[in-house]
Each structure stands twice: as structure tokens, then as C-alpha cells.
Structure 1
Amino acid sequence: MAIQIYNTLSRTKETFQPIEHGKVKMYVCGPTVYNYIHIGNARSTVAFDTIRKYLEYRGYEVNYVSNFTDVDDKIIKAAKEEDLTTEALADKYIEAFFEDTGALNVKRATVHPRVKDNIPEIITFIESLIEKGHAYVSDGDVYFRTESFESYGELSQQSLEDLMAGASLRTEIEETQRKENPVDFALWKAVKTDDEISWNSPWGAGRPGWHIECSVMSTKYLGETLDIHGGGQDLEFPHHENEIAQSECHTGHKFSNYWMHNGFVTFGQDEEKMSKSLGNFVLLRELLQEVDPVVVRYLLASVHYRKPLRYDQKALDEAKTQINRIKEVLRRLQKRQEQSDGLSEVDSNELNHYLERIQTFENDFKAAMDDDFNAANGLTVIFDFIKFINIYLTQEHVALQIIQVMQASLKELLYIFGIEIKNEDDLLDNDIQAMIDERNEARANRDFARADAIRDALKAQGISLDDTPQGTLWKRDA
């Protein structure tokens, strides 16, 4: 089976063929660190973390690079408001990013480069574009000459003529006068006030434009051509369009073989796009104080990455229900494993039968995820697997070896989605088990009033009991 990836550039699914066998060079645009991230930012981070983990599951060595934009007009403004230096502000929100995404079991990138650490490389890159006639200096600013790149607009499927007409309407008159063409974009911005962060350059003091940083840092750490470049749908134009233009003019080679873009998070039944500019965003940090992080992770990972993801209380409740199903099967697997002394031996025919069934689920999972990382279909296979496991666990006699294989396989698949269920607090578990033991003793002594009182007490704490031939099982209610 080969992985199929929907390539935004071609608007078709293509068979994934990495540049180097067994290795993937992947770059994903990271956040501008001037505030805590909202769940729209988190959706992109989780989507590409899931894709990365699936590629690793399929045996690829993934060199994953994701940047932090720590030099930006928004950062300068926020630093003044918080009375911090721009570097201190960026440090603060980078640390918060790692805390918040870490709670969602997001794996850190191989490299998380920052703009401030790559200024010499950015200047050298811009100098190359000027020398080749693809950029020009104007009053201390440096602009990319879009007409020098014949394929400009190909990613977003827009003509240069249409883009020119649109740009002339939305660009400030003062800046338009400094450009040869209203579509030209800034590679370097001249400093305008004394309190702005800036660096010396051949064109005077200033700082990089937004688009240049990703071209410089991606090619620095991954080479002139990437396997995969990803980011939010909102970055398709102008950010990624500009990256392609400046990168290919600089290197003379194709910038990225596959372009991937995740869909927006929408808010409520009206499915309005969530964004800071609309004021309807939810900070991930605040959400994690109210909702179990594994539930949030499930919600963000459960929808196909290219589709819109609806955020509301109903969606959170549905995610919680599914996580409780996962928790319950893992708890039952662990419980039967702990009772291993009473587990039956298994003959080779039975063992092979169950191993083949487990392999079938894994193959179905791969088929679903190989189709452009279809998370929804992949999770459907996982829940079919969970049903199969639950049926097996209802048997009076089960085999330790089969339980261990089921447990290992299920945890491996769940890990791809960042779902790692930690054991509930041991003291609490012990308390619950002690109450169950007391209830069993009361029932044995025909003290049914006491047994019912214990059941009711547990129910009040959100614990349901199930008396089975294998003993009394408990679970936490949704």
C-alpha cells in the first residue's frame, strides 16, 4: 500500500514518493508568538502532529521542522503593551506553546527555529534575490519582484492580473508608491522608529518581512527541496505563494513536492470561522483548564485534516463519550491482565486466529490512513477493534498472550492520534476497589441493604458497577 496525499498545488491526490527512500523532510509553519494560541492554531499543530506520527508508524524517519515567528509587528505592539522586550515576550509565549501543546501530547519538532537566530542567513538569501533581479531596494525596504516569477499565483490558482487588481485596492498608498507592482511583497522592512527591533543590513537598519523567514529556515534545515510543506488553509495565499516564488527564484529548484493545508475551526451551529480578528476564538490554555486535555486532543484529531472542524459543546461531549469508551476498554484489558494467574493457556490455532484478526484491523487502519491521512475513517477502524476486544473480554477464559497483543496494538494506534490514557489515580482506584470488596462481602453475607448503599455511593461519584461472571467490573460514567 502506498500513501496518497492531496497536493494543494495540483488539487489532486498523489502517491507519496519521498526524495530520499525511507525519509521525510517536512516543514510546517508555526505560530507568531505574541499571545497564547487558540484552538484554531492548535488544530493545525495537532493535524500535522498526527500526520507526522502516522508517517513514523509507517516506518519513515521524519525530519520535522516548525518555526516560531518571533519578529513581527504584532509582537512589537504586544511587547509594548506588556512592558517587555520583544525577545522576552516571544520567550514567554514559546514556553506557553510548549506547555499547552505538550498537554495535547504533541511531539516537539526536530527543530523549532526562530527568526532572531537566522538573521545572517535571511540577509544572504535576500542579497541573492537582488543579484538575480528578483528583488529590488526602495527607500531602505526590499521587495520581491513578483513579475519575475512566471508561476506566481499557481498554488492559490489566481492570475497575476487579478492579484494586481486586488492588491491595488488594499495596499496603503504610501507603500504602493515604493513598489514597482502592488503585488510585490516585502523581504526586508526599514526601521521607522527608534524603539523598533532591528538589525543592520546592506540596505540599512530593519527587520525581515514575514514570508522570507520560512523560506530561509526550511531550506537551511531541510535542503532546497522539501517533501512536504504544511500549514493552515489561511496561509495558502499570500504566505505560501510567496514562499514558493522567493525560494524557487533563489535556488532554481522546486521548493516542495507536496503542499498540505488543514481546514479551519468553525464556531457553533452557524459554523462561523474562528479567528482572533472576529473575536470568537477560544484560547487553548483556558479550554484545558475546563476540559480533559485528552478529550480536546481527540476532538482536534478526529476530523479529516482538510475539512472544517466544528467546535461547540456538543462536539466536546461527543469527544468525551468516545474517550470514555477508550478508557474503559484499556481499563478492562489491564484488569484482565492483572488477573493473569487465572488466564487460560491458548493453543496455536486459537492464537493464530486472533493474531490474524488483529492484523486485519491494523491493515484496515493503514488503508484508511493511507488515503490522505483520513483520521475519521482510521478512528472508525479503531472503534471496530474496540468492539472486537470487548467481545473477547466477556469470555470466562481469556489468554494472557492475546490480551497483551490486543493491548499493545490498540495503544500503538491510539498513539498516532496523541491519545495516551494515563492510569487513574492509584489511591482513588484502590478506594473504589475497597468499596467493591466490601459490597461483595455484604452480598455474600446477604446484607443486601449495605450492598445497595455502597452501589449508590459509588454511583453518586460517577462510578457504575457491572456484575459479570469474571467478577464485578466498574467504569467511570461519561
Structure 2
Amino acid sequence: MRLFDTATRQVRDFVPRVPGQASVYLCGLTVQSGPHIGHLRSGVNYDVLRRWLLHAGYDVVFVRNITDIDDKILAKSVEQGRPFWSIAYANEVTLAAAYRALNVLAPTYEPRATGHVPEMHELITELIERGNAYPSNDGSGDVYFSVGSFAEYGALSGQRPDDMLAAPDGPERAKRDPRDFALWKGAKTTEPDDAEWPSPWGRGRPGWHIECSAMAKRYLGAEFDIHGGGLDLVFPHHENEQAQSRAAGLAFARFWVHHGLLNLGEAKMSKSLGNVIDLESVVEHGIRPVDLRYYMLAPHYRARIDFSWGALEEAATAYRRIEGFVQRAVELVGVVEPTALCADFTAAMDDDLNTSAALAALHEVVREGNTALAAGNDKAAAGALGSVRAMLGVLGIDPLDPAWADSKGGSGMRSTVDALVALALEQRTAARERKDWAAADAVRDQLKQAGVVVEDTPHGPRWTIGSEL
């Protein structure tokens, strides 16, 4: 497998640090509010990376953190008169439910920043002792990383330190260099009292960047394989993570992988801008979570997505063609377990997780399968079904995956609709048996108006949502 490495700006062969094992750290969300679909794209994209590594035979340790202490969370705590941890936890629960609805596998570990303050203290102390960090001399209790002490600063994002603006996370009067960034923030009277921890530098709380470095070290060690996140995190977050970790003597990430953003209009979908669409809004629009997951996989993970309802509906239609084939094939040949992936699909996934090309290969096999079904070629249909299911499994969108049965608005709704449609079809069959063709046609027409298309086959009536045909 080859991956585009942001650090080297080239596609490189993925070779894990430990043969047969792969370690991945994904920057999770800051849970000051519920997730929007731009956030969920990150979960889906890196879930596919993880599934592909598993398919390749790697034993994968996948860490996705929760940032539950942050300036924005504390501002909301003061604004709402509510404990910061209450806000963070409520949004974490919502996030977890959204990931489950999209069939994102649970991480191996999902640490919260607030649970790892001692590890942050250790890392900050190491940086101070090495001369890469310093407590401010203004009595604030702040501790800053010295950007000038790390010669490679700016390498990850491709920026020159001389061109950088001041870091906005502390007063310049407390810093030796305006670009220095906060590792520890001293307690402030404007922030909640319960958002403070004792430290060697006085009561306070961690800065954002030190949190991920400490948690990555705790769960993956001094060096790990892949660090992921959105392109908006390259600077300053990931640049600062790399600087402080390597300055502390840690090899840190061997590959940096960043996904493109999901925009609404010309702007990044952002809670601060108020231009967000969440999973609930998508489901209310008539789009199932499985359709949304397909939509997120249709472009390459590094490509920007310019969101539109029309494009989302087109993706849902495309997925339902796949789903329709699976349903028809199962009716004819029974459930076939996943078999071998087609060569074009494998080549696409090995080429920097090119899901766009992989889906093209998948649709080609679906077309071949439909041709086999039309010809009554059970053997060829079964072979296509096994290959299609294998590809869908890698992408996490197999309609026969039990995970979708628990997804609100997903295939789990099928059982309810099945029962209602089955009742209508029984009435239609009874009408046909007594040769009441008008009544039978009326049932069929009513179902059609509801978006359900009935097709009479040698195996009996079969129904699909209209767009699945």
C-alpha cells in the first residue's frame, strides 16, 4: 500500500515500524458541541484506512482521542452556567452515536484529554529540562514551547518561521517569542474553578497541542506509524505536536495523512461559522446513514467535498443500485459470503486509498452481476455477489452487515418497511387469486406512489425502493 505523506509531500510505500502491526493515531474532536457531517467524514475516511490495513493482514492499534478541555468548551461552560465536563460528555455521547450510525468501528482506545494530565506534566517537564520550553516570568503560571529552539519547526506545513504570525494562545508579554505556543495555561478567574489541575507551575490546564502528544505516547509509544487528521490541522496543531514531541526525544509519527475538508458553499463547514449540517438533518432529508457514508467515500479522501443536497441524493441513488443487486442476487442464489476482491479494486485501494476508483471497480462487478442475473446464470451471479460483498465490507457499506440494522434510518428500517409492504403484497396476491385485477393494480399503484416498486418474478413478487432499480 502506498500513502501520500504530508510530511514528505509524496506518495510512499507504507512499511510499518513493527512487521505485521500497524499503529494509527487520529486526532479526534473537540466536543464543545455535537458533530456535523464534516467531522464525521474524518471518522469514515480513517475507518476505511483501518479496514484496509486489517484486510492486508495487519494487527491494527487504532487510537482516536477526545479533546474534552479547551478554550471553546470553557467559554460555553461560562455562557451556559454548566460544568465543562457535562457539556463535553453530552457531546461525546452524540458523537459516539453518530459514528455507530455510520458503521465506524470503535477505536482500540479512545482516551480523553482530561484523563492524561500527569502524562502531559511529564512531557512538559522533559521539554523544560531540554531547554525547549520555559515557564513565563509574569506570574501567570503559563508554560510555553520555544519555537526558536527547534530547528525543524515549519517543516510539516512547509512554512518559514519568519513568516509566521504570533500564536494567539497567550499574551505576547509572557513570551520570549510571539510564535511560542502554550503547553500549560495558568488558572484564570474568568474560567471555571473545576477546569484546573495542580502542576509544578501552579494550578491550570493543558494547552491543546500537548494533549495529543501525551496521549499518543501513552498508547502508541515513542514512535508509531500513522498520524491522521483534517487538512485544517496541519498548522498549527500538527506542526506543534511534531515539534514538541521530537524536541522531547520522541520519533513520533512516521506517516502524516490528512483528509480534505467538507465545505458548505465556499467556506469550511464549521461550528463557529454556524454553517453546519448534522446527521439528524441528513436523515430528516430522507438520506440514510449508509447513503451518507457512500457519499463521503465517492471522492478521494484528500479531495475537498463541496456539499450539496443534489450530490448527496445522487450518491444515495448510486448506492441503492448496489444494494438492489445484492438483494436480487440473494433472492436467486442465497447469501454468499465475501470472497476475493477484484484486481482493479485492490489496485485502487493500494494507491493511496483511492476509493473513487475502487467504487468504479465495484460498480463494474455489479453490472456483470446484473447481467448474470438477467441470464439466469446462478454461478456467475453468486461469484459476483461474493466479490461485491468483499469490496463493500472493506468500505463498510455492505447492506447485509448487521451493523446497519441498528442504524437510524439505515437498513434497520427495512424490517419495519418489509412487514408493511409484505402485508400489502399479501392483499395484492389474494386479489390476483380471485382475479380481481382492479384491486391488485390499485395495491401496486398505491405502493408505487409511496416509492415502492413491485416486480413480478418467477420467484414471486419482489419490491424495491424506486431509486434502487
Q: Could you tell me the TM-score, scaled by structure 1's length?
A: 0.88
The amino acid of 1:82's aligned partner reads Q
Provide the residue aligned with 1:362 in structure 2.
342
Change (3 A) 1:427 1:264: closer
1:406-447 CA-partner distances (Å, limit 9, x unpaired): 434323321332214236544643553465466567667765
**Would you say the 8 A contact 1:267–1:280 is kept in 2?**
yes
Provide the residue aligned with 1:153 in structure 2.
154
> For the residues of structure 2 that align with 1:440 and 1:283, how far apart are their CA atoms?
42
Q: For residue 102 of structure 1, give the secondary structure of its aligned residue in structure 2.
A: helix
1:154-303 correspondence to structure 2 within 5 Å: 154-163=155-164, 166-167=165-166, 171=168, 175-193=171-189, 195-196=192-193, 197-251=195-249, 253-268=250-265, 271-290=266-285, 291-303=287-299
1:97-108 correspondence to structure 2 within 5 Å: 97-108=95-106
Which range moved further: 275-284 or 466-475? 466-475
Provide the residue aligned with 2:47 in structure 1.
49
> For the residues of structure 2 that align with 1:87 and 1:273, how far apart are their CA atoms?
27
> For the residues of structure 2 that align with 1:331 and 1:66, how far apart are their CA atoms?
35
Deviation of the 1:262 alpha carbon: 0.7
1:176-207 CA-partner distances (Å, limit 9, x unpaired): 11111111100000111173411111111111
The amino acid of 2:257's aligned partner reads M
> For the residues of structure 1 that align with 2:418 and 2:282, how far apart are their CA atoms?
27
The amino acid of 1:72's aligned partner reads D
Structure 2: tracts of 5 or more residues without a match: 400-410
Provide the residue aligned with 2:408 in structure 1.
none
> For the residues of structure 1 that align with 2:33 and 2:416, how far apart are their CA atoms?
38
Change (3 A) 1:217 1:327: same
Provide the residue aligned with 1:398 in structure 2.
378
Provide the residue aligned with 1:6 in structure 2.
4
Change (3 A) 1:106 1:334: same
The amino acid of 2:393's aligned partner reads Y
Provide the residue aligned with 2:405 in structure 1.
none
Q: For residue 118 of structure 1, give the secondary structure of its aligned residue in structure 2.
A: helix
**Would you say the 8 A contact 1:295–1:323 is kept in 2?**
yes
Structure 1: tracts of 5 or more residues without a match: 341-354
1:57-85 CA-partner distances (Å, limit 9, x unpaired): 22111100011111111111212333321
**Whose radius of gyration is greater, 1 or 2?**
1
> Which residue among 28, 31, 35 is the counterpart of 2:29?
31
2:458 counterpart of 1:457: no
**Would you say the 8 A contact 2:157–2:234 is kept in 1?**
yes
Provide the residue aligned with 1:344 in structure 2.
none
> Which residue among 56, 59, 69 is the counterpart of 1:58?
56
> For the residues of structure 2 that align with 1:308 and 1:283, how far apart are their CA atoms?
18
> For the residues of structure 2 that align with 1:112 and 1:215, how far apart are their CA atoms?
14
Q: For residue 25 of structure 1, give the secondary structure of its aligned residue in structure 2.
A: strand
**Would you say the 8 A contact 1:36–1:285 is kept in 2?**
no
Q: Could you tell me the TM-score, scaled by structure 2's length?
A: 0.89
- The alignment-based identity, stated in percent, is 39
> Which residue among 392, 397, 403 is the counterpart of 1:414?
392
Deviation of the 1:114 alpha carbon: 0.9
The amino acid of 1:143's aligned partner reads Y
1:134-176 CA-partner distances (Å, limit 9, x unpaired): 000103111001111111000111111112xx22xx748x711
**Would you say the 8 A contact 2:213–2:241 is kept in 1?**
yes
The amino acid of 1:267's aligned partner reads L
Q: For residue 279 of structure 1, give the secondary structure of its aligned residue in structure 2.
A: coil
1:375-408 CA-partner distances (Å, limit 9, x unpaired): 1111111111111111111233524xx6555434
**Would you say the 8 A contact 2:279–2:289 is kept in 1?**
no
Provide the residue aligned with 1:345 in structure 2.
none
Q: For residue 231 of structure 1, give the secondary structure of its aligned residue in structure 2.
A: strand
> For the residues of structure 2 that align with 1:185 and 1:423, how far apart are their CA atoms?
48
Provide the residue aligned with 1:333 in structure 2.
329
The amino acid of 1:337's aligned partner reads V
**Would you say the 8 A contact 2:368–2:384 is kept in 1?**
no
Provide the residue aligned with 2:135 in structure 1.
137
Q: How many residues align?
A: 449
**Would you say the 8 A contact 1:396–1:470 is kept in 2?**
no
Which range moved further: 272-281 or 307-316? 272-281
Provide the residue aligned with 2:402 in structure 1.
none
> For the residues of structure 1 that align with 2:462 and 2:219, how far apart are their CA atoms?
52
The amino acid of 1:206's aligned partner reads G
> For the residues of structure 1 that align with 2:268 and 2:152, how far apart are their CA atoms?
30
